[in-house]
Amino acid sequence: MEKRLDLSVIVLCYNQEQTIARAIDSVLMQQTEYTFEIIIGEDASPNDNTRLICEEYAEKYPNIIRLMTKEPNKGVLKNYFDCLDKCNGKYVGICSGDDWWHNPNKIQLQVDFLEKNKDYGLSFTDFRIVNVDIINGGAVFSSSKPIFIEDNMYKSLITENFISAGTVVFRKDLYLNHINFDKFRSLGFLMEDYPMWLEMIQHSKFKYIPIETLSYTIAEGSISNNKTDFRKTEKFENSVLNIKKYYIEKYPVKGVDFQRLEQIHHNLLTVVFVREGHFERAKYHSKFLINSGLKGLLKFVICHTSLIKFYSKHLMANKN
């Protein structure tokens, strides 16, 4: 029988040779009285030495690190849920291979809270965003603090996913009792974390801890940040909208309906595409904002006049 641990940390990675060691080290360097293991889900990286680096860590720390067996590429969802099934911890934390936990007290802080507050099933924190400049080799750091309604967190969460997965620690029993991966897959969800939060919050309280624990990297070309191919951005955001619609139908909340969610969706894509210079797509999405109030009408007018170029420069200047 495998030893029961306090926390299992899942590290997902794919073609992250340059950053995976930093991610693993940030977990190993945690200062905590709680026991933890690291489950590495290396998803058949084809282009670099990510797998080799993970093997070296697993060999060096055999009592802490378990590397998932080498298999053909699974994709994010299956890789994540396969790792979850291997977790022995009472709690689960997450760190992507290109992010890192810059706060050495993260485990102690969050597990300590959950141990003392049995009615809470998940805790999350602030994080800092690292915008990576691949061309010039630099990075821009900015803080991110969630905005939500404390006494109706689900209503805030259904309109925007303000919880970064790398900041989260949750009870594994909450996952085992309420999350159905096969259902997510059958519905075509592209995200593993957001639908989990929307389901879990129906069955347990969430705790926000206003301390930064994670450095979250955003690089050009990621599924949620792709300046060159607007179709990838639209595909991702369409999936987010489908997740929201599924949950608002399953768990209705006053003041939010399909129409409201679609307005939020089109407003987001209008702003993103204006900022990134995809003006035709911005014009398309702005058409759905005409009846969403004065701000929506103003965005529509701007997108269909020469003002769109000035608006784009303004958004770029205030991006961070």
pLDDT digits (tens, 9 = 90+) for 16-46: 999 999 999 999 999 999 999 999 999 999 9
- 283's CB contacts (< 8 A; 6+ apart) are 303, 304, 308
Whole-angstrom distance, CA of residue 168 vs CA of residue 104:
15
Largest Cα separation within the chain, whole Å, is 68
Residue 147: pLDDT band (50, 70, 90) is: confident
CB 134 within 8 Å of CB 219: yes
What is the model's pTM? 0.92
Q: What is the CATH number of domain 5-218?
A: 3.90.550.10
CB 27 within 8 Å of CB 105: no
Strand locations in the chain (E): 5-13, 36-42, 65-67, 89-96, 100-101, 120-133, 138-144, 169-171, 205-218
Asked if residue 87 has pLDDT above 90, the reply is yes
Q: Directed axis angle between helix 307-317 and helix 258-276, to 10°?
A: 90
Q: What is the pLDDT of residues 171-211, one digit of tens each?
A: 999 999 999 999 999 999 999 999 999 999 999 999 999 99
Asked if residue 146 has pLDDT above 90, the reply is no
**Given this model, what pLDDT does residue 40 score?**
98
Residue-range domain boundaries for the chain: 5-218, 230-317
Query: Which of 289, 272, 197 minimizes the C-alpha distance to 231?
Result: 272
Kind of pairing between the strands at 138-144 and 65-67: unpaired
Across the chain, what does the average pLDDT equal? Answer: 92
Q: How far is CA 297 from CA 137, 180, 283, in A?
A: 40, 40, 12
**Given this model, what pLDDT does residue 149 score?**
80
